Amino acid sequence: MALFEMNRSENKLNFKPFFEYFLILIGSALYALATVIFIFPHSLLLGGTSGISVILNSFISFSPGKILVAINFLLIVLAFVFLGKDMAIKTLVGSVLTTVLVGAFESVFAFSAPIINNIFLSAGIGAALIAIASGVMFYVDSSSGGTDIIALIIKKFSNMKIGKALLVTDLLIVLIGGALSGWTLLLSSFLGLLIKTLGIDGIIAGIKSVNIK
């Protein structure tokens, strides 16, 4: 009888991987939507590859979405080198989904003007949504790619929380972009960066407290 129960348990389907990839899809979609609707229209810099793409867009003719594709492709290689196969594959899926959805949402939401004119409000809302999206993906050992990969590497080889690792990684991007674009963009972007990085750790802690995995 015990043997039968053991075999029945072993044959039970494991839905955990499907649920994890479902969360990656949800996180990627929310991240891309927040980026296109709230971040790109004001050229906000919250760090990450979206911040780098906005900076580079000032110097080259490619759209931020296309620049995002190129940068993420290069950085995903680091995931396979430093994060291990399982985490790298999840990060690759998250990165590809986020990048593809950014391009898709750019086509769908081709606004002639930002839907929220106040840059600080747009930064706050966009950053809060990105914090939720990133927290969900980080919880299942994935990310949207880009500098998130660097933050995951820092977290893996140190005791630093992922939000603080992102703050260290992305702060320079915000400072450079702000220096090139003026005080208003610098302050609003820095506000968004703080909301994003502090919010991520809070989202992860909240998910762990209810143990949805």
Residues 90-145 have pLDDT tens digits of 988 998 898 889 889 988 877 667 888 999 999 999 999 999 999 999 999 888 87
Question: For residues 95 and 99, what is the distance between their CA atoms, to the nearest angstrom?
Answer: 6
Is there a domain that residue 5 lies in?
Answer: no
Mean pLDDT, the chain, integer? 82
Domain count, the chain: 1
Tokens coding 65: 């979405």
Handedness of CA 33, 66, 136, 186 (dihedral sign): negative
Is there a domain that residue 149 lies in?
Answer: yes
DSSP 183-194: HHHHHHHHHHHH
Is there a domain that residue 139 lies in?
Answer: yes
Is there a domain that residue 29 lies in?
Answer: yes
User: In this model, does residue 212 exceed pLDDT 70?
Assistant: no
With left for phi above 0 and alpha for psi between -120 and 50, is residue 84 left, alpha or beta? left
Query: Minimal CA–CA distance to 90: which of 21, 149, 38?
Result: 21
Confidence of residue 30 (pLDDT cuts 50, 70, 90): very high
**For the range 157-165, what are the long-range contacts, defined as Cβ-Cβ under 8 Å and sequence gap of 24 or more?**
161/201, 162/138, 162/200, 162/201, 162/204, 163/197, 163/198, 163/199, 163/200, 163/201, 163/202, 164/197, 164/201
Q: What is the pTM of this model?
A: 0.81
The residue segments making up the domain with residue 129 are 20-210
Is there a domain that residue 9 lies in?
Answer: no
Is there a domain that residue 115 lies in?
Answer: yes
Question: For residues 42 and 35, what is the distance between their CA atoms, to the nearest angstrom?
Answer: 10
Is there a domain that residue 174 lies in?
Answer: yes
Is there a domain that residue 110 lies in?
Answer: yes
Tell me: the pLDDT tens digits for 64-81?
667 767 777 778 888 888
